[in-house]
Amino acid sequence: MRTNWAKHALAGGGAAIGTMIFEFNTPGIGRIAARAGAEFIVFDMEHTGWSIETIRMFMATTR
């Protein structure tokens, strides 16, 4: 099982830095956010027209 570094940091009293994505519908956004230092990403489906298929694509390409 992979370690969830964001949960690990929070459980130890630390902080986790992440980002919220709602504009860029590209498969590479997970890699871009990771290279920028994000430890987690929140994908916003409320304020976008993204379908569950779009979120599935993000999940497949962001891990």
Mean pLDDT over the full length of the chain: 91
Question: How confident is the model at residue 23, as a pLDDT?
Answer: 87
Total length of the chain: 63
- The backbone torsions φ and ψ at residue 60, rounded to the nearest 5 degrees and listed phi first, read -70, -35
The pLDDT of residue 36 is above 90: yes
Percent helix, strand, coil in the chain, to 5, is 40, 15, 50
- Which pTM value belongs to this model? 0.75
Residues 5-34, mean pLDDT to the nearest whole number? 91
Domain that holds residue 17: 5-62
- 22 sits in the region (left: phi over 0; alpha: psi -120 to 50; else beta) called alpha
What are the backbone angles phi and psi of residue 6, rounded to the nearest 5°? -65, -50
The domain tally of the chain equals 1
